[in-house]
Amino acid sequence: MKPPLKIAIAGLGTVGSGVLQLLDRQADVLTQRAGRRIVVAAVSARDRRRDRGTDLSAVRWYEDAAAMAADPEIDVVVELIGGTEGIARGVVETALDRGKHVVTANKALIADNGTKLAALAEKKGLVLSFEAAVAGGIPVIKGLREGLVGNRLERVYGILNGTSNYILTTMRESAHEFAEVLAEAQKLGYAEADPSFDIDGIDAAHKLAILASVGFGRPVDLAGVYAEGIRHITRLDIDFAEELGYRIKLLGIARLTEEGLEQRVHPCMVPRATPIAAVEGVYNGVVAEGDFVGRVVLQGRGAGAFPTASAVAADLIDIAAGRHVPSFGVPAGNLRELPGVPIERHQGAYYIRLMVVDQPGVIADVAAALRDEQVSMESMIQRGRAPGEAVPVVMTTHVTVEAAMRRALARIEALDTVLEPPRMIRIEDF
């Protein structure tokens, strides 16, 4: 049997503790599958007294994670600190400079610096792996990079943030509004004290940028991802979506068009019969559409200590067994530049909700604004009568260009009879 693979873990928080426990409990299985033992030789964390669920008495502790990454006895550095700059990036760059493979769960680091780090790893003949950076325990990176390598992908999309999916699911099931459900999610530990990273689509944008790079063989382009969150979604929208045959989901979508690559994160109305509509609660789901395979659906836990540890272990097994592939499926120098398609050029159908004064002529004025921008209305819902009072009006449109839709909404918002900014949700034809 080969000599043990010696690893060092930087960061022993929730995920780091999960990795330690998995490596301990599954040691025999991992050894059999890797053809060698995987040994935790060193760790770096701020608090040595905290219980991590396994015995660390024989492991070398480092106060300086970068110094640990330079330890000549280490074969692989596992970076679980997080963040795009500072110590996390320093640990990864030091490890690669010193000839060590790197496994990371750091989505922000890969989304910001993944192409450069992959090029550095390849130059050194090393592996940079990040299965755990996207969708927790779902093997989506390996699925796209290796399992679907015989396909040209047309679209990759999914629920990439469990917090937002939990909020939208609970709003529908509980009849509560966004603020109430968010507060409950924070109490349960599903949402951070500052939830903006999750509910504003930033977390999903990082993950989508990585998926788009792996799926379409292009450099990571976080700046090219349009991101919009779920703060404006109301119970009213969720109820109307159900009536129209849809579910509202925060999705990340990468789609190849004749103009280039769309990368967008935003709330979507998706038909209730589609697989992605059935992914509920804190779960993630990813769908890939290839020219030969058709539609592939992956679903599972997108976060948490053990699901993420499972993904880290998969990368470690590959390294231990000598299975090396380029980080993004092709060498970094061969990643092709694809033009990005700005959100204004997106073409699709739309759901629009207005709050208007119930009086004659209002719908005619709204219809005129849509007509002048060549936006065609498909359906409209207006119930009851409340002369002189505020009433909701919901419309869906046929496929149109987003820039035209936005111009029409700006004109509608300027009408005296429209009492609040129009709410728009994109409808996807999955």
- The position carrying tokens 């799926």 is 215
- The position carrying tokens 């599958």 is 33
Secondary element (H or E) of residue 301:
strand 294-301
CA distance 404 to 430: 23
Catalytic (active site) residue 187: no
CA distance 107 to 134: 7
* Token couple for 131: 């299965």
Task: Name the 3-class secondary structure at 416.
Answer: coil
Total Cβ atoms within 10 A of residue 379 = 11
8 A C-beta contact, residue 214 and residue 141: yes
Q: Which of 100, 142, 207, 249 is catalytic?
A: 207
CA distance 21 to 40: 11
* Token couple for 184: 């409950």
CA distance 233 to 164: 11
Q: In 163-260, where do the E strands start and end?
A: 226-227, 246-256
CA distance 136 to 25: 19
Among all residues, which ones are annotated catalytic?
207
